[in-house]
């Protein structure tokens, strides 16, 4: 790149390809530029501007590097996912990394589009708070599930309780498990979400960050089935916690509530979160 003046900006695009024989693990990819004028000057840092009305602008200097993880995860090919975006949602890129095709569902498609073309319809974090169209056309997701589809609802806050958005009566609670190392008790070990295409075991729940999950499904109809339970290690949060991964069968399909913090784990590169997500996306479309 050749600059003509001091305040000019130029961009260079390049592709980093992971070798086919790369082993599972975390790697650091670094970028740098060198000056041809001196042949010795090396630029390998960047900066982030921090600027708010109540403070002076500051620059945070950071190395020019990115973290890349190679994860051992199996996925089902050619899965089509319809996604209703939530708040601060970074889950769709993780779905695409698993090889699935993600299509963002807008208001018109929620209202009258053909949802049957999707293998899975997934709502983002707190989508029922953000999306008035989702609240208005929620019946369409339940109809989709009744016909054999899989609906996956990531965690919502108390706004979810303003109406009944699930196939059976239920209410979101303030329950959470803050210890990211809390043991996870699998209640239905033969359920496909724990067996295909990845075998979910103790390793799946290791190296989680910050928490297990929050805003679990609380009071609920007995037609809902809890798939896991946990006990937090903190004394001020006692007792067994249910509602973090719940399935409600409806017609030929299923509706699943996920209070587990996949939305936090996936951007952090947590291996087990990718395995669990791959299994959720691979659930059979039609129940026996």
Q: What is the pLDDT of residue 42?
A: 87
Give the dihedral of Cα atoms 160, 164, 169, 175; nearest 10 deg: 0
Tally of CB atoms within 10 A around 181: 11
pLDDT of res. 287: 54
What pLDDT shows up at residue 3? Answer: 87
Mean pLDDT of 109-133: 97
For domain 80-281, give the fold. Rossmann fold (3.40.50)
Mean pLDDT of 229-250: 97
Q: In this model, does residue 84 exceed pLDDT 90?
A: yes
pLDDT at 288: 53
CA–CA separation, 55 vs 150, rounded Å?
A: 48
pLDDT > 90 in the chain, percent: 87
Contact yes or no for 63/56 (Cβ under 8 A): no
Coil, strand or helix at 95: helix
* 258 vs 216: CA distance, rounded Å: 8
What is the structure's pLDDT at 36? 80
- How would residue 101 be classed by pLDDT, with cut points 50, 70 and 90? very high
Q: Is the pLDDT of residue 240 over 80?
A: yes
Domain parsing of the chain, residue ranges: 25-70, 80-281
pLDDT value of residue 35: 83
Q: Across residues 150-163, what is the average pLDDT?
A: 96
Return the closest-CA partner of residue 263 out of 281, 277, 278, 247: 277
Binned at pLDDT 50, 70 and 90, residue 158 comes out as: very high
Mean pLDDT of the chain: 94
Average pLDDT over residues 89-97: 95
pLDDT of residue 165: 97
């Amino acid at each position: 790149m050749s600059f003509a003046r001091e305040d000019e900006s130029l961009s260079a695009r390049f592709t980093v390809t992971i070798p086919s024989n790369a082993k599972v693990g975390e790697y650091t990819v670094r970028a740098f530029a060198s000056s041809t004028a001196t042949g010795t000057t090396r630029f390998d840092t960047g900066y982030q501007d921090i600027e708010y009305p109540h403070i002076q602008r500051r620059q945070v200097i950071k190395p020019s590097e990115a973290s890349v993880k190679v994860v051992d995860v199996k996925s089902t090919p050619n899965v089509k996912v319809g996604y209703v975006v939530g708040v601060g949602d970074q889950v769709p890129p993780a779905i695409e990394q698993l090889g699935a095709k993600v299509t963002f569902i807008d208001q018109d498609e929620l209202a009258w589009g053909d949802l049957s073309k999707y293998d899975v319809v997934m709502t983002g974090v707190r989508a029922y708070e953000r999306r008035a169209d989702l609240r208005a056309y929620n019946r369409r997701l339940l109809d989709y599930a009744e016909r054999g589809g899989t609906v996956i609802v990531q965690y919502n806050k108390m706004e979810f309780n303003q109406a009944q958005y699930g196939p059976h009566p239920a209410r979101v609670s303030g329950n959470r498990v803050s210890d990211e190392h809390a043991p996870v008790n699998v209640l239905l070990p033969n359920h496909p979400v724990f067996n295909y295409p990845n075998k979910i075991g103790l390793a799946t729940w290791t190296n989680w960050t910050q928490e297990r999950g929050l805003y679990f499904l609380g009071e609920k109809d007995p037609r809902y089935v809890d798939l896991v339970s946990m006990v937090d290690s903190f004394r001020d949060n006692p007792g067994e916690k249910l509602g973090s991964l719940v399935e409600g069968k409806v017609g030929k399909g299923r509706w699943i509530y996920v209070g587990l913090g996949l939305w936090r784990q996936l951007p952090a590169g947590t291996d087990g979160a990718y395995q669990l997500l791959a299994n959720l996306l691979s659930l059979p479309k039609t129940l026996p």
